[in-house]
């Protein structure tokens, strides 16, 4: 009797666990949709696996991360080669302050990628991304979906591209976007994507550190945005520097010149630490360009997943 009762209790517990797990998320591996029940999508990433077509939901938050007993607030950039001096090096605000980068395989430019995307609805687009580890890059969330919110069918990553010169080309294995984000979402808070590559070109190009800071840090320092604007010669890299004009919890408003095609470009300091991702330009309600501000929860999650260190 005791053994039967124990088996019955174990069976009931197992059934409860299975039901609970099904109520948390139910994944449909069709390559397009994820059916969910009783899930707060604002707390989740949607993961797209381009190799298998599987789509799943992943919790978006991780506990605080520590190293040697100290709270991690930034990660270090990686430079595989010595720094080289560069000679001369979405919206244009006033006089165009951008200059072309011709030494695209020098640090830190080698770690910035031109992205060419195709989507499952047959459309295509181009953008910018940047390496944050050997095989992980960050970009804008809207680069990973079409204007009709179709998902990626492929993304080609060109690191250090300069016109037709393409020293490193990589493909994507899988990527994460905020589960509740849509292409025309007015909230820049969720406009970022985490892209995992099939190879590790960052070991050759190097990568940026990531960091988050208080408002006063941004208002008292100069930053650079480098990317691949669509109004210049195809495949050429351009940069501009300037200041952050104001800060919100998830957005940095700045007057650094950018253009369409630079969505996903890094906003970084002279120490090659990225503090924001370019997401949008001047609009009727704002005189500034906008970056998705790097925040504690994103850095914590990337470290907890082993995607950066």
Expressed as residue numbers, the domain containing 17 is: 2-60
Q: Exactly one of 142, 254, 269, 290 is catalytic; name it.
A: 142
Q: Exactly one of 153, 263, 269, 280 is catalytic; name it.
A: 263
Give the CATH number for residue 216.
2.40.10.120
Q: Is 170 in the same domain as 294?
A: yes
290 is an active site residue: no
pTM: 0.84
Q: Tell me whether residue 7 is exposed, middle or buried, using C-beta atoms within 10 angstroms of its C-beta: 0 to 12, 13 to 18, 19 or more.
A: exposed
Task: Note whether 112 and 236 are within 8 A (CB).
Answer: no
pLDDT, one tens digit per residue, over 48-64 is 999 999 999 999 999 99
Instruction: Give me the number of domains the chain comprises.
Output: 2
Whether 268 is in a domain gets the answer: yes
Q: Is 228 in the same domain as 108?
A: yes
Whether 309 is in a domain gets the answer: no
Q: Is 246 in the same domain as 215?
A: yes
Whether 231 is in a domain gets the answer: yes
Q: Is 111 in the same domain as 72?
A: yes
DSSP conformational letter for 142: G
42 is an active site residue: no
Whether 96 is in a domain gets the answer: yes
| Domain boundary pick from 45, 60, 75 | 60
| Domain boundary pick from 60, 80, 109 | 60
Task: Note whether 136 and 195 are within 8 A (CB).
Answer: yes
Q: Is 17 in the same domain as 116?
A: no
Task: Note whether 83 and 208 are within 8 A (CB).
Answer: no
Does the structure show a pLDDT above 90 at 44? Answer: yes
Whether 7 is in a domain gets the answer: yes
pLDDT, one tens digit per residue, over 153-162 is 999 999 999 9
Q: Is 121 in the same domain as 45?
A: no
Does the structure show a pLDDT above 60 at 5? Answer: no
pLDDT, one tens digit per residue, over 129-140 is 999 999 999 999
| Domain boundary pick from 60, 81, 105 | 60
Q: What percent of the chain has pLDDT over 90?
A: 77
Of 171, 159, 202, 225, the residue nearest 308 (C-alpha)? 202
pLDDT, one tens digit per residue, over 183-192 is 987 678 999 9
Q: Is 191 in the same domain as 46?
A: no
Whether 94 is in a domain gets the answer: yes
């Amino acid at each position: 009797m005791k053994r039967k009762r124990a088996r019955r209790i174990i069976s009931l517990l197992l059934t409860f666990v299975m039901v609970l797990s099904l109520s948390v998320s139910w994944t449909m591996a069709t390559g397009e949709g994820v059916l969910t029940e009783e899930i707060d999508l604002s707390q989740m990433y949607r993961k797209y696996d381009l190799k298998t077509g599987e789509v799943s939901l992943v919790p978006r938050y991780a506990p605080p991360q520590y190293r040697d007993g100290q709270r991690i607030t930034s990660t270090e950039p990686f430079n595989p080669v010595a720094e080289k001096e560069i000679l001369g090096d979405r919206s244009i605000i006033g006089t165009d302050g951008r200059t072309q980068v011709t030494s695209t395989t020098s640090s830190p430019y080698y770690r910035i990628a031109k992205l060419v995307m195709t989507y499952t609805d047959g459309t295509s687009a181009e953008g910018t991304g940047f390496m944050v580890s050997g095989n992980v890059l960050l970009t804008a969330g809207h680069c990973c979906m079409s204007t009709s919110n179709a998902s990626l069918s492929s993304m080609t990553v060109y690191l250090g591209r300069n016109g037709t010169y393409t020293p490193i080309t990589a493909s994507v294995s899988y990527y994460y976007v905020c589960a509740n984000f849509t292409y025309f979402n007015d909230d820049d808070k969720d406009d970022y994507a985490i892209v995992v590559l099939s190879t590790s070109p960052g070991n050759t190009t190097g990568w940026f550190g990531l960091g988050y800071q208080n408002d006063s840090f941004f208002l008292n320092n100069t930053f650079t945005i480098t990317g691949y604007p669509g109004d210049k010669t195809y495949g050429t890299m351009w940069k501009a520097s300037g200041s952050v004009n104001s800060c919100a919890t998830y957005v940095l408003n700045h007057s650094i010149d950018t253009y369409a095609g630079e969505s996903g470009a890094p906003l970084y300091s002279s120490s090659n630490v990225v503090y924001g991702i370019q997401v949008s330009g001047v609009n009727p309600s704002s005189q500034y360009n906008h970056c998705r501000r790097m925040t504690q929860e994103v850095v914590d999650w990337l470290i907890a997943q082993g995607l950066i260190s």
